[in-house]
Amino acid sequence: MTIRRVLILAPTVLILFLVQSYFWVPTYEQQTRGNPDRLNEYIAASIGDASILNPILSADSASSDINSMVFEGLIDRDEELRFRGRLATSWDIYEEAFFYVNEDANIPGKGRAGVEEVATLLKRAKAGDFEAAPEVKASLDNIREISVVPARDFLVTRREKENEDTETAEIKIRVSAPARIKLVLNNVDQDLFQNLSRVLGKDYFSSFNGQHYITLDDETWQSKRAVYAEEILPATEHNPTVVFYLRPGVKFHDGHLFDASDVKFTFEAIMNPKNLSPRISDYEPVKRVEVVDSLTVRIIYKRLYSPALGTWAMGMLPEHLLNDEALRKEAIHLGKDPEKFSMRQSSFSRHPIGCGPFVFREWKSDQYIVLDHFDKYWEGSPNYNRYIYRIVPDLLTQEMEFYAGTIDSYSVQPHQVKRLRDNPEYQNFSGLSFGYTYIGYNMRREPFNDSRVRRALSMAIDVDKIIDYVLYSQGERITGPFVKQTDYYDKSIKPAPYDPQAALRLLEEAGWRRNKEGWLEKDGKRFQFTLITNSGNDLRKAVLAIAQDAWKQIGIDVRTDLLEWSVFIQERVDKADFDALILGWVMGIEPDLYQIWHSSQTHPYQLNFVGFKNSEADDLIIKIRQEYDHERQVVYSHRLHEIIAREQPYTFLYVAKWTAVLDRRIVIKETDRQGNAVYKKIKPTKTGNFTFYFNKWVKLPETPTFSQEG
């Protein structure tokens, strides 16, 4: 999420400030003269400070910027957006699938059949003993191994509350499970059981009744018998599996070797409810993580989950520094209760240790964070010796410091694009953002629980005017939650029209009438609320004023408030303590929207903080997660887009175009086979990421001459 703050000064004061800024900021030449190491430092600027330097806990952009330098994941994406190995050198993906033998079902031409007959039939079908449709044959050919899992008896314990007024009870469920068929597949096959039903009979799987095999000791819970049976004895089970082969010799910054136990620990830390990780939903589909050996880890999923591989770009944590024993010792040392002490309270989040390209050195709140290059980084130490992340809380100062060379890059504001984009002194990069800005409504509170009100609020705002006059046309309208550059985004959906009179009619339909003073009222109560956003963002502040004025024009009494970034996020957003807010999302290219839009993600520290709940949307979100066919994902995504656009939990405003400028003396430095330095121009990836090769960046005293190929 981008954070900026507007600076409003009277003209005379503004001129004075500019003059003073020029004189107190040293020039680049002055810096290098007094500090020869300046060429070896990269200085970035941010309006907002980081909040927590732990990749499984952070959810703000400033923290993510630093975490990406200090920590590293098993994989990431290359310039062409293909997955590539990082802490993992390679991986295998396959599937284990299971189904219970349905003792009550008839198999075509066989009647009722036991486990051996079913296994034999599948083996014969795979061998081609009888004709099969092409899609069925493809599923059969994909089967690597067919085996039998014997019947077994076991006990399952659940804890339930009959209602809110009763104590939690322990429920014992006795299970006499029938035999299962185990299939090992070369590749994940989401259509496996649909195709096998054409071999075993169309109702073979759907008619399996797990209730026949479970017994509840307490009759009180008989009404949940079907639910328990579905959970404990599902007729079919997909278990996609990823095996990662880890890079040998990788070290954390403290010298400790990274291995498979750290991968398992990172997963367990995310899933530990004490840590309140916002990443839980990404890893909940994991059934278990197995350490095969020190450099091999097997991750088994409990169901189909198409975004699985991409989630392992998560930065890996050092188990030896954050395991239960380490946290217990820290809690005792700090005089805190070890049972309540969690990773969130650990000093690690202020002094992180990862195995990424940069080592944490110092963090002075609201001033700077300093990182040094890691000379034992597995891919080779970055060219820059030091990375400094300065907190510069207004953009005018950032701009002046960029011109003087005290920061090395600058995110150009919309009104500056025309002037700076073609300036020959700088190299520049631009593109359409992977994300959007929106006004979000807390649907737990009245009147935002009424979709007519939310739609009316959207229709009262002239978003095109915001794009023209606030963004200087450096943005585009957006209507829904997907990245606009992808085909998951439904371009046929039109934005809410700017129509204040139609908005008033919707509000009247919802029971709101103008009183004598012109304010909207319902049941004697004025339509009044507070719209908030973070300070330090000139664009959001302008949107705040425009929205307030637009709503005032139709009789809504809107108060506004600007909050310092950390207070805004930690006290208002994380705790869902707001009426309406202006914020933005930076998105990935995958269509998985579970964290932001699923109804299960509405609790504190989760990302569906507006409280959106829609059962059809929930179903579509799950289908998108479990769908491996791109075209079907697109169909589900378009329907989800349609629902969210109709319900308007957000007023979707715009996706901004971005432009960044960089000193021309910053280049990519590589070494040829003879050991000679080779300099290349910085080029962005397909997503517009111009920092992809940051570890190879270097700043030269003079701009080099590039070969035509460079």
CB-side exposure of 562: number of CA atoms within 13 Å? 15
> What's the pLDDT score for residue 421?
80
245 lies in a domain? no
Specify the range with the lowest mean pLDDT, choosing from 232-246, 249-263, 443-457, 665-679. Answer: 665-679
Q: Is the pLDDT of residue 395 over 90?
A: no
87 lies in a domain? no
What DSSP assignment string belongs to 403-434?
HHTSSSEEE--GGGHHHHHT-TTEEEEEEE-S
> What's the pLDDT score for residue 475?
93
Q: Are residues 225 and 105 in the same domain?
A: yes
Q: What percent of the chain has pLDDT over 70?
A: 94
Q: Is the pLDDT of residue 304 over 70?
A: yes
Q: What is the mean pLDDT of residues 695-699?
A: 94
What DSSP assignment string belongs to 318-349?
-HHHHSHHHHHHHHHHHT--TTT--GGGSGGG
Higher pLDDT, 489 or 59: 489
Residue 356, phi then psi, degrees to nearest 5: -80, -175
Residue 677, phi then psi, degrees to nearest 5: -70, 135
C-alpha to C-alpha distances, 183 to 119, 130, 142, 190, 425, nearest whole angstrom: 10, 20, 10, 13, 62
Task: List, in sequence order, every beta strand (DSSP E) within 270-408.
Answer: 286-293, 296-301, 358-364, 368-373, 386-391
440 lies in a domain? yes
Higher pLDDT, 566 or 446: 446
| Cα–Cα distance for residue pair 57/345, rounded to 1 Å | 11
Q: Is the pLDDT of residue 30 over 70?
A: no
Q: Are residues 529 and 405 in the same domain?
A: no
218 lies in a domain? yes
299 lies in a domain? no
Asked whether 383 and 666 are in contact (CB, 8 A), the reply is no
Q: Is the pLDDT of residue 73 over 50?
A: yes
Q: What is the mean pLDDT of residues 333-361?
A: 96
Tokens at 313, concatenated: 């770009």
User: 């077994």: which residue's tokens?
Assistant: 152
Last residue of a domain, one of 240, 261, 293: 240
CATH number, domain containing residue 33: 3.40.190.10
- Classify burial at 521, counting beta carbons within 10 Å of its beta carbon; exposed 0-12, middle 13-18, buried 19 or more: middle
Q: Are residues 428 and 457 in the same domain?
A: no
671 lies in a domain? yes
> What's the pLDDT score for residue 120?
93
> What's the pLDDT score for residue 7?
29
Per-residue confidence at 134, pLDDT binned at 50, 70, 90? very high
Q: Is the pLDDT of residue 15 over 50?
A: no
Asked whether 158 and 228 are in contact (CB, 8 A), the reply is yes
Q: What is the mean pLDDT of residues 242-268?
A: 98
| Cα–Cα distance for residue pair 481/166, rounded to 1 Å | 41
Q: Are residues 135 and 219 in the same domain?
A: yes
Residue closest to 365 by CA, chosen among 349, 342, 354, 345: 349
Q: What is the mean pLDDT of residues 571-581?
A: 94
3-state secondary structure 431-491: EECCEEEEEEECCCCCCCCCHHHHHHHHHCCCHHHHHHHHCCCCEEECCCCCCCCCCCCCC
| Cα–Cα distance for residue pair 185/198, rounded to 1 Å | 18
Asked whether 625 and 472 are in contact (CB, 8 A), the reply is no
Q: How many CB atoms lie within 10 A of CB 620?
A: 25
484 lies in a domain? yes
Asked whether 706 and 679 are in contact (CB, 8 A), the reply is yes
Q: What is the mean pLDDT of residues 382-398?
A: 92
Contacts of 669 (CB under 8 A, 6+ apart): 383, 677, 678, 679, 680, 696, 697, 698
Q: What is the mean pLDDT of residues 572-583?
A: 95
Per-residue confidence at 164, pLDDT binned at 50, 70, 90? low
> What's the pLDDT score for residue 527?
97
Q: Are residues 391 and 417 in the same domain?
A: yes
> How many folded domains does the chain comprise?
3
Q: What is the mean pLDDT of residues 169-179?
A: 90
What percentage of the chain's residues is helix, strand, coil (to nearest 5)?
35, 25, 40
Q: What is the mean pLDDT of residues 264-269?
A: 98
What DSSP assignment string belongs to 650-674?
EEEEEEEEEEEEEETTEEEEEE-TT
Q: Are residues 585 and 511 in the same domain?
A: yes
Per-residue confidence at 290, pLDDT binned at 50, 70, 90? very high
- Domain span at 236: 93-240
Last residue of a domain, one of 183, 205, 240: 240
Asked whether 409 and 402 are in contact (CB, 8 A), the reply is yes
Task: List, in sequence order, every beta strand (DSSP E) within 509-591.
Answer: 513-514, 520-522, 525-526, 528-534, 557-563, 580-586
| Segment (H or E) for 199 | helix 192-200
Convert the pLDDT of each residue in 55-65 to its tens digit.
999 988 899 99
Q: 101-106: list long-range contacts, CB under 8 Å, 24+ apart.
A: 101/178, 101/179, 101/180, 101/181, 102/204, 102/205, 102/207, 102/208, 102/235, 103/178, 104/207, 104/208, 104/209, 105/200, 105/201, 105/203, 105/204, 105/207, 105/208, 106/201
Number of helices (H), then strands (E), belonging to the chain: the values are: 21, 31
| Residue burial 159-180, b: 16+ Cβ < 10 Å; e: rest | eeeeeeeeeeeebebebebbbb
Q: Are residues 632 and 664 in the same domain?
A: no
Last residue of a domain, one of 189, 209, 240: 240
Q: Are residues 111 and 193 in the same domain?
A: yes
Q: Are residues 455 and 392 in the same domain?
A: no
Q: Is the pLDDT of residue 17 over 60?
A: no
Q: Is the pLDDT of residue 394 over 90?
A: no
Facing residues of 370 across strands?
362, 388
Q: Are residues 424 and 449 in the same domain?
A: no
> What's the pLDDT score for residue 239?
97
| Cα–Cα distance for residue pair 571/587, rounded to 1 Å | 23
Q: Are residues 575 and 650 in the same domain?
A: yes
C-alpha to C-alpha distances, 254 to 94, 257, 284, 372, nearest whole angstrom: 35, 9, 31, 13
164 lies in a domain? yes
Whole-prediction pTM:
0.80
Asked whether 645 and 493 are in contact (CB, 8 A), the reply is yes
3-state secondary structure 11-69: HHHHHHHHHHHHHHCCCHHHHHHHCHHHHHEEEEEECCCCCCCCCCCCCCHHHHHHHHH
Q: What is the mean pLDDT of residues 132-157?
A: 94
In the predicted model, what is the mean pLDDT of the chain? Answer: 90
| Cα–Cα distance for residue pair 197/5, rounded to 1 Å | 60
CATH number, domain containing residue 651: 3.10.105.10
> What's the pLDDT score for residue 35?
63
Q: What is the mean pLDDT of residues 441-454?
A: 97
- The amino acid at residue 118 is V
Per-residue confidence at 570, pLDDT binned at 50, 70, 90? confident
Q: What is the mean pLDDT of residues 394-411?
A: 89
> What's the pLDDT score for residue 423?
83
Q: Are residues 391 and 531 in the same domain?
A: no
Task: Select, from the ranges 117-126, 248-257, 699-708, the one with the highest average predicted confidence (pLDDT).
Answer: 248-257
Q: What is the mean pLDDT of residues 270-291?
A: 94
Q: Is the pLDDT of residue 168 over 50?
A: yes
